[in-house]
Amino acid sequence: MHKTYNTISPLVPATFAITLGVFMQYTFLLSTKTISALFFLSFFLFGYKKTIKKLSWNSNIFFLCSLFCTSLMITKLQQIHHDAVHTQITSGRCDIRATVKDIQTHNHTRLDQYILLQITEYKYPYKKWTPLESNGVIYTKKIEDLHVGDYIELQGIKSNRAQNSFKSYLIYQSIGAYFFCPYLRYTIINRPRFSINRWLHTTTKKISNVLEKKLSPETFCLFSTLFLGKKMKHIDPSTDLPNKFRQWGVSHLLARSGAHLAIFLYLYYTIFQFFPLPLAIKQLLCILLCIIYFLLSFSSTSFLRALTTILLLFSCAIAKRPTQLLHTTLVVYNLFLLCNPISLFFLDFQLSFLFTISLSWLARKIYTTN
């Protein structure tokens, strides 16, 4: 007798409950009271399941209802937090104190510098400083004396109001305010002697500069896009390479994902074959190298998905726990959705997980059939 396998992961109902909760919250905009009422209703039915004989309530149903209500509440909190920050910052010109998290230069735009801030407090004229925890983005002309890690004060800055789809994009990127300031008035309050973010930013920039000098323009453009995750239009806006990729129908190769990370893992394992190390040590080194690669390159949804999946698979292998790709992919999907619910409505998230989950299910189906 052949042994049969279940091709459906036990996480499928939980995934459906979380996805449905996020979808319903953004579709119907339920209030906090309604969400709380749904949660307590499910808890009440679970507590009195023995007295309600007509309904077959059990712990699994209660668990799914709890996940559904949790996703509703997390989505609601994300909306509330962004709306609160957006309302506080966009009421007029104000002063802002923030830490510089990242600086990027785009040479083809009028405002050629992108500055990512961690806002800590703000103040309107004749008012006191008010604490605020949010990210902000500034588009301005190039500033030479500003560095990552600096704690600065911006004077008389005004945030623009976001509407509709752009507002959703800001929530997706965890950005509470954005500014267009050709001439930025600021004061550097503190510059720490050492900053991890500044060291990572400087190292990444040095690597990029070295590669740019050693490689031809087209090769550097392709390498930076495929393996460093930098958008091609930010490297060389005049290049025709994206059109050529679209013409041949292979534009998806420019999106850094699991395939590109697998190339690095293959190189790591090939090098480690020459060293007589235990398998667990090699796997730990691969995890460390993957994290370093992530820190020294630009991030994206597909790359984060692949990296998180690989880290989980390696961790289970080191702990000698069995793994299943479909199950692991669903775990990553749920983690991403609970951390950033609005990502469900963005195409990069949908395509990345849809194709991965489909291929994982197909591979499992073929394995169980054979």
pTM listed for this prediction: 0.86
The C-alpha atoms of residue 239 and residue 220 are separated, in whole angstroms, by: 12
Arithmetic mean of pLDDT, 157-172:
86
**Tokens 């992919």 found at:** 329
User: Using one digit for the tens of pLDDT, what is the confidence trace for 316-343?
Assistant: 988 888 888 888 999 999 999 999 999 9
Contact 279, 232 (CB under 8 A): no
pLDDT band at 48 (very low <50, low <70, confident <90, very high): low
- Pick the closest to residue 91 from 154, 161, 140 (CA basis): 161
Q: Give the lowest-confidence range in 35-39, 131-135, 163-167.
A: 35-39
pLDDT digits (tens, 9 = 90+) for 57-79: 467 777 888 889 889 999 999 98
- What whole-number distance in Å separates Cα of residue 236 and Cα of residue 106? 9
User: Residue with structure tokens 């726990």?
Assistant: 321
Confidence (pLDDT) at 1: 40
Give me the phi and psi of 346, to 5 degrees please.
-110, 140
Q: Output the pLDDT for position 237.
A: 62
Q: 2: pLDDT confidence band, cut at 50, 70 and 90? A: very low
Report the distance separating Cα 317 and Cα 319, nearest Å.
Answer: 5
Contacts of 235 (CB under 8 A, 6+ apart): 220, 221, 224, 225
Quick one: DSSP state of residue 254? G
CA atoms of 353 and 333, how far apart (whole Å) = 7
Residue 38: its pLDDT value, please? Answer: 79
Q: Which residue has the tokens 């409950």?
A: 17
Q: Which pLDDT value is given to residue 4?
A: 46
Express each pLDDT in 88-130 by its tens digit.
888 788 999 999 999 988 765 677 888 999 999 999 988 899 9
CA pair distance 312, 323, nearest whole angstrom: 9
- DSSP annotation string for 166-232: HHHHHHHTT--EEEEESS--EEEEE--S--HHHHHHHHHHHHHHHHHHHS-HHHHHHHHHHHS---H
d(CA 76, CA 119): 22
Q: List pLDDT tens digits, range 231-260.
A: 766 666 667 777 777 777 777 777 777 777
**CA 120, chain centre distance (Å):** 22
Per-residue pLDDT, 101: 94
Phi-psi region of 126 (alpha: psi -120 to 50; beta: other; left: phi over 0): left
The predicted pLDDT at position 342 comes to 93
DSSP-assigned letters across all residues of 15-77: HHHHHHHHHHHHHH---HHHHHHHHHHHHHHHHTTTT-TTS---HHHHHHHHHHHHHHHHHHH
| Residue 54: band (very low, low, confident or very high) from pLDDT cuts 50, 70, 90 | very low
H/E run at residue 104: strand 94-105
Q: How many CB atoms lie within 10 A of CB 264?
A: 14
User: Mean pLDDT of all residues in the chain?
Assistant: 84
**Which residues have a Cβ under 8 Å from the Cβ of 48 and sit 6 or more positions away?**
none
Position 3 scores a pLDDT of: 46
Q: How far apart are CA 241 and CA 123, in angstroms?
A: 47
Torsion angle (degrees, nearest 10) of CA 338, 340, 341, 345: -140
Cα 309–Cα 311–Cα 316 angle in degrees, nearest 5:
95
Give the full edge-to-edge strand order of the sheet including 113-123.
Answer: 177-181, 130-140, 113-123, 94-105, 151-157, 186-190
